[in-house]
Amino acid sequence: MDPAGRHALVTGGGRGIGAAIARALTAAGAVVTVLGRNPAPLAAMLAEGDAAGFAQADVTDAAALAAAVARAEAARGPLSILVNNAGAVETAPFGKLQRDAWDRMIAVNLTAVYQATQAVLPGLLAGGWGRIVNVASTAGLTGYPYVAAYVAAKHGVVGLTRALALETAKSGVTVNAVCPGYTETDLLADSMAKVVAKTGKTEQEVRATFARSNPQGRLVAPEEVAAAVLFLCGPASGAMTGQAIAVAGGEVM
């Protein structure tokens, strides 16, 4: 039971890790729908042959998300694979963390995973086979300063992964998480740019600071995260469920 011919939905699939995952699944023969808020990068994925279709929706809008899932299934068949990748990060010392920022981080990083999974899981269970992979973060396994809401949300994703894995253990559906360290994406580039603006350090200095958290002394490539996701969607991973796999060069053990 491999991804070939199976319909996969990748949220946040237009760029960064999500785009790399969509490419990997497409190369493995899956029929991939990429979902996101901005149609331009999603359409580009389709034009480049890295996805079979796209769906526009904000993952924090439960009704819009459910409608997008329904449209995708009507167009490309029942879903067998869900990759919850969409996410965002905002930084602030905890004492200055405003409630609206907290709510945004929980909504996009945790509640959206719950909403997408609720929309897709019944079909996976009915089909007797499925793969759910949640893209969490090393922030779901350890703490980082100045991103308390993000860390809390990602810990929640890991907890949700483990709980749902137990509920679905005998169903043919597996539920796992991958936890990347600092990864070479637009999201990280934005974070580094903010540090440069705030501290006056050069981009190279800030990049080196981020890379030092990885014992290998480098940033993770999106394709390395995608490879872990692809394995979890493949035939050799059937005995793996409820796992949170760090892709971080040994940063978290």
Query: What positions carry a catalytic annotation?
Result: 150
CB < 8 Å & 24+ apart, contacts of 183-192 = 183/16, 183/17, 183/219, 183/220, 183/221, 183/222, 183/225, 184/219, 184/220, 184/221, 184/222, 185/15, 185/16, 185/17, 185/222, 186/15, 186/16, 187/16, 187/87, 187/88, 187/89, 188/219, 191/89, 191/91
Contact criterion met (CB below 8 Å) for 136 and 154 = yes
Instruction: Give CA 15 to chain center in angstroms.
Output: 11
Question: Residues with Cβ < 8 Å from 178, sequence gap 6 or more?
Answer: 133, 134, 135, 136, 225, 228, 229, 232, 244, 245, 247
Question: Cα–Cα distances in Å, from 55 out to 20, 38, 65, 75, 136?
Answer: 17, 10, 9, 10, 22
β-pair partners for 56: 36
Distance CA 49, CA 156 (A): 34
